[in-house]
Chains A and B, each alone.
Chain A
Amino acid sequence: MPVETTPPADPLLSVRDLRVQFPTDDGLVRAVDGLSFDVAPGEIVGVVGESGSGKSVTGQAILGLLRRTRARVTGEIRFDGRDLVTAPEAELRRLRGAELAMVFQDPLSALHPYYTVGSQVSEAYRVHNRVSKRAARERAVQMLDRVGIPEPHRRYGAYPHEFSGGMRQRVMIAMALVCTPRLLIADEPTTALDVTVQAQILELLGDLRDEFGSAVLLVTHDLGVVAETCDSVVVMYAGQCVEQAGVEDLFARPQAPYTWGLLGSMPRVDRDRRDRLAPIGGQPPSLLAIPPGCAFEPRCGYHEEVPESRCVDERPALVHDGQGRAVRCHLTAGQRLTLRPVAP
């Protein structure tokens, strides 16, 4: 189990009230809707949430990749003091790949099918480092070796389709880390992989964090992965952060009803197979019409505990406790303590 860390005063990444909206024919899709969270230097932060909760969009917004789309990005993304939302494109380009890197969800489509993996890795190095082709090649081979690709000299010249899913993911990671970024955003790096490979990749991420000191934003919908790998967790729902906490704290003392639901749906070895999974009933709200009150209200079993139907009318604020914990829920601290389902 990783050691719980309390975020220091100066986070590496600080997201405040981030909003990403896509104008579509059906209306405005609010993919990210007032998201706030922090990442400390060298910290591994898990981002969990159901499909469509805006995890990938958040990652892309941080790298400024949505600038070339029709998406509207507002709010604040402070990286090392600079606001990435308003930074000029030239400055972002200097940061991308060098200080901020991203491993995308699907490694097959994220690698160029017509270039060798080696050339794609060394290209990533050469953008930010004035070195000869040979030096970049050596660096790329070294990186491929580091992420566990056998015979890196020979595999340098192979094309993405000649690799297995796990190996492709390693190539993506090598490409992202080749300039030793200070923040790595890994978007579900293990989803499509089998359990053994998954464990290897996660271990690799941890090792690389120790080696390069990079912070990692690990997007996943697998709480098991979070428990094993992360220092702290951001729980997302309908484009909002509903809870952020250190990983031990989150599993031991979850505060938001949505987190309770997520933890309840988590497969556990100590439970009978039949009642292992208790998924949260209902569907997330349409991002075209997020409820004006609490976005989770239609599915929440506790909204009646809050007086004056505030859950329906008033959106709860994300309340920080000053010790790195934040919760978005109208329930009082006392209520959360008594209402929280006890783990069997």
Chain B
Amino acid sequence: MLRYLLGRIAGALTVVVVVSVVTFAIFQLAPRLTGANMAFYYTGKSTSEAQAAAVAQKFGFDKPLPEQYWTFMSGIVAGRDLSDGVTEVRCPAPCLGYSFRQNRPVLEMIGEAFPVTLGLTLGAAVLWLLFGVAAGVLSAVRRGSVFDRLATAVALIGVSVPEFFTGMLLIYLLTSGPAWLRLYPDGINYVPLTEDPVGWFAAMVPPWTCLALLFAALYARLTRATMLETLSEDYVRTAWAKGLPPRTVVGRHGLRAVLPPIVTLVGLDVGALLGGVVLVETLFSFPGLGRLAYRAITSQDLPVIMGVTIVGALLIVCANLIVDLLYGVLDPRVRNAR
């Protein structure tokens, strides 16, 4: 088990390094391809020629790429002194870059946005797991029943209706819809959990619903298919042959075997969402990582884009690592094989 663990961690670290190199390379390449001055991506279009030259000099755009990469990476560890040609700033370690547009270290912005995304993702995950898995199991057990058909239809709608549509519909109905549905007459506004837990929860419910709808549908489909397959396994037949009641056969023997694939998927989905729930956050104007990235892209704020990308990649890698470890816990065959 220990060797399995160490192997996985080493693998994860390698992936992080590769991702950082690729990210770095892409953001080096893009300005070259568009022919724009790289400095503009740091300070904005209104930058003067002289200022741009100063930025280029300070950031060392003329230096060989490996050296620039090294400077960027060592900045994460040691911090960096940066300049936009007008002001000198100290970006303390760990430094993921500095946004001269907003005059703040990127990491500070990410740190502020992350809890929003975390709350959104985890809350939605709880919802979609509860409803998706329950619906999937019931569908599988009562295959072909009215419930199964209804769940299939609802899931189909859930999968095919885009998030922005359900999101906008929700916002419209809850803020300016019919009076009995107008639960948020003052709009759905994010409140930090630490300030007002009840307000936080109330604000979270609509975006949770919007996110969970899509995923619950996907998970219901997956659970139904996996459960059907499991229920036809020999060991489930053995469970019936013992004289166990249906509840135990499905709930203990069936569900236990469905768990590993579901846990894997949850890990990967949550990992991916943690990097930013762009659509939902933007729609609801929640200040999470997704909206941060979206704004950075529209305003071409390169340091922020790079920072969010690397953090997002890191989160996905972490999620993968956790999934791998959980798999070892959930599947004794994997545990023993290492």
Chain A residues near B (Cβ < 8 Å):
60, 63, 65, 68, 93-98, 101-102, 104, 106, 109-115, 123-124, 127-128, 159, 161-162, 175
Distance A109 CA – B234 CA, assembled complex (angstroms): 6
Least CB separation from A98: chain B residue? B243
Query: Which A residue sits closest to B234, measured CB to CB?
Result: A109
**B256 pairs with A112, CB closer than 8 A:** yes
Contact status A110-B242, CB under 8 Å? no
Q: Given contacts A109-B235, A111-B238, list 20 more A-B pairs with CB under 8 A.
A: A60-B237, A68-B240, A94-B243, A95-B243, A96-B242, A97-B242, A98-B243, A101-B241, A104-B237, A106-B234, A112-B256, A114-B330, A114-B331, A123-B244, A124-B242, A127-B243, A127-B244, A159-B332, A159-B333, A161-B336
Q: Does B253 count as interface, using CB distance less than 8 angstroms? A: yes
Contacts known (A109-B234, A109-B235); A114 close to B241, Cβ less than 8 A: no
Q: Is B257 interfacial (CB-CB < 8 Å)?
A: yes
- Is A96 within 8 A of B243, CB to CB? yes
Of the candidates A93, A106, A110, the one whose C-beta lies within 8 Å of that of B243 is A93
Q: Give chain B's interface secondary structure class.
A: helix
Q: How many residues of B contact A (CB 8 A)?
A: 21
B234 pairs with A110, CB closer than 8 A = yes
Please name the residue on chain B nearest to A123 by beta carbon.
Answer: B242
Interface contact tally, CB-CB below 8 A: 71
- Is the CB of B191 closer than 8 A to any CB of chain A? no
**A113–B332 touching, CB < 8 Å:** yes
The answer to whether B238 touches A112, judged by C-beta atoms less than 8 angstroms apart, is: yes
**5 A-B contact pairs sorted by A residue (CB < 8 Å):** A101-B241, A112-B235, A114-B332, A127-B244, A175-B238
For residue B234, which residues in chain A have a CB less than 8 angstroms away from its CB?
Answer: 104, 106, 109-110
Indicate whether A162 sits within 8 Å of B336 (C-beta atoms), given known contacts A112-B235, A112-B256, A115-B256: yes
- Chain A residues positioned under 8 Å from B235 (CB to CB): 109-113
Q: Encode B224-243 as 1/0 by CB contact (under 8 A) with A.
A: 00000001011101111111
Inter-chain contacts of A109 with B (CB < 8 A): 233-235
Q: Which residue of B lies closest to A94 (CB)?
A: B243
Tell yes or no: B35 within 8 A of A by CB.
no
Are A104 and B238 touching (Cβ within 8 A)?
yes
Q: When chains A and B are docked, how far (Å) is the Cα of A114 from the Cα of B237? A: 15
Residues of A within 8 A of B244 (CB): 93, 97, 123, 127
B64 at the interface (CB under 8 A from A): no
- On whether the beta carbons of B243 and A97 are closer than 8 Å, the reply is yes
* Chain B residue contacts of A104, Cβ below 8 A: 234, 237-238, 241
Q: Report how far A65 CA is from B253 CA in the complex, Å.
A: 16
Taking A109-B235, A113-B235 as contacts, is the C-beta distance between A96 and B240 under 8 angstroms? yes
Across the interface, A161 reaches (CB within 8 A) one of B237, B256, B257, B333, namely: B333
Are A102 and B241 touching (Cβ within 8 A)? yes
